Amino acid sequence: MGWYHLFYQYNQGSVVWGNSVRWAHAVSKDRVNWLLLPISMVPDHWYDINGVMTGSATILPDGRPMMLYSSMSNDFTQLQSVAYPKNALDPLLIGWVKYKGDPILYPPHGIGAPRLPRPVESLDRAGRRFMTRVRKDGSCGKCWRNGYRKRGSGKGMGKYSVEEVETLRSKQHQEIKDVELCPGTVVLLDIGSATQLDISASFKMDKASLDKTLEAVVSYNCTTSTGSAGRGAFGPFGLLVLADEPFTEQTPVYFYIAKNTDGTSTTYFCADESRSSKLSDVGKRVYGSTVPVLHGEDHNMRLLVDHSIVESFAQGGRSVITSRVYPTKAIYEAAKVFLFNNATGITVKASLKIWKMGKATFKQFPL
């Protein structure tokens, strides 16, 4: 079995993204436990002195890996450059050398902002994937999120967490069945500390209630809505995670069903960060998208909850949301999980399976 290679933007002097970023490098056998390798590329030439920016990798016909990356020059022009491993036979690919002919692409004169399109990632012929990550915080965090596998979903392709994440689950799990959530209901789940969890939740509703209600919402949008506080006939309903009992902090992840004027409906899957932290200097957005719910399906979500990251998957990965949050009150033993139904027109029944999650390992090279 070979190595998975993760390259990610790393700002050595700060916890936020900025200029002079470099590429850090880690490898893993299972995409859960990681070995942190030496920095692979640093800004040290005129064409990338203001940052080794986003990029990708591919495999050349002779079998060598090649990195293609956006480089920010001394006058802040965005160029395209390439790099090769010092030793292509080294399975860890430690050390990279920039091409003597860099940069290989310049923006054409007069096109406006001096930027080129971002390169994309690639697979080699053996199916090995070289992943690049654009992160704003200078680390790869809990690497539950460092790799997704594609999954057929009945309508398009979806993304789901790598199966090896389940090795972090506790041997025992809690199963909660058929919790009835009337309109306006919030229910505390008695599971103890709720900062490292794998939650699988299913929500059932009375289809007859959906069919007979006349309310039509044709302009709903997760991002422009008022989040989980905004009430409609068929939503929002879902889970409050990283929440304290006074509800001074909470991160709701929820479904919202908007009925169309022709009687059909559209389901939205959203995450609301607006009350996730008492801090005033962090981003707190509401965002999400539509998610297909096929005939006969319940509304299902899976959440991977860490101390400051929530990974949310709807309908087997047809919609995926990553939320970076910074709670100050809903931490450690004070962090709780609640079911909620803020809809005005439907009663929902929720069933859940909840696992406590262990820690991934991060070891510095050399061992």
Burial class (CB within 10 angstroms; exposed 0-12, middle 13-18, buried 19+) of 109: exposed
pLDDT average, residue stretch 108-137: 49
Residues 144 and 163: their CA atoms lie apart, in Å, by 10
Out of 139-143, 157-161, 244-248, least confident range: 139-143
Q: Does domain 148-357 have CATH number 2.60.120.560?
A: yes
Q: Residue 133 — very low, low, confident or very high, per pLDDT cuts 50/70/90?
A: very low
pLDDT at residue 140, as a whole number: 32
CATH class of residue range 4-140? mainly beta
What residue spans define the domains of the chain? 4-140, 148-357
Residues 25 and 36: their CA atoms lie apart, in Å, by 6
Q: Residue 146 — very low, low, confident or very high, per pLDDT cuts 50/70/90?
A: very low
3-state secondary structure of 362: strand
With contact defined as beta carbons under 8 Å apart, do 11 and 138 qualify? yes
Answering whether pTM is above 0.85, one says no
pLDDT at residue 150, as a whole number: 45
More confident residue, 272 or 192: 272
pLDDT average, residue stretch 141-163: 50
With a cut of 80, say whether residue 307 has pLDDT above it: yes
pLDDT at residue 147, as a whole number: 39
3-state secondary structure of 71: strand
pLDDT at residue 245, as a whole number: 94
Taking all residues of the chain, what is their mean pLDDT, rounded to a whole number?
A: 86
Task: Give every CB contact of residue 343 below 8 A, 6+ residues apart in sequence.
Answer: 183, 231, 232, 233, 234, 235, 236, 237
With a cut of 90, say whether residue 11 has pLDDT above it: no
pLDDT at residue 116, as a whole number: 54
Residues 154 and 308: their CA atoms lie apart, in Å, by 32
Question: Tokens for 277?
Answer: 């932290």
pLDDT tens-digit series, residues 170-218 = 999 999 999 999 999 999 999 988 999 999 999 998 777 777 776 767 7
pLDDT at residue 261, as a whole number: 80
pLDDT at residue 152, as a whole number: 45
With a cut of 90, say whether residue 272 has pLDDT above it: yes
Q: Residue 111 — very low, low, confident or very high, per pLDDT cuts 50/70/90?
A: low
pLDDT more than 70, % of the chain: 84
| CA 237 to mean position of chain CA atoms | 21
With a cut of 70, say whether residue 280 has pLDDT above it: yes
Handedness of CA 202, 205, 207, 211 (dihedral sign): negative
pLDDT at residue 206, as a whole number: 79
Q: Residue 158 — very low, low, confident or very high, per pLDDT cuts 50/70/90?
A: low
With a cut of 70, say whether residue 83 has pLDDT above it: yes
Residues 53 and 159: their CA atoms lie apart, in Å, by 25
Query: Considering only CA atoms, which of 273, 269, 283 is closest in space to residue 318?
Result: 269
pLDDT at residue 132, as a whole number: 38
With a cut of 90, say whether residue 32 has pLDDT above it: yes
Q: Residue 259 — very low, low, confident or very high, per pLDDT cuts 50/70/90?
A: confident
pLDDT at residue 121, as a whole number: 47
State the greatest distance between any 2 C-alpha atoms of the chain, in Å, as a whole number: 69
pLDDT at residue 367, as a whole number: 66
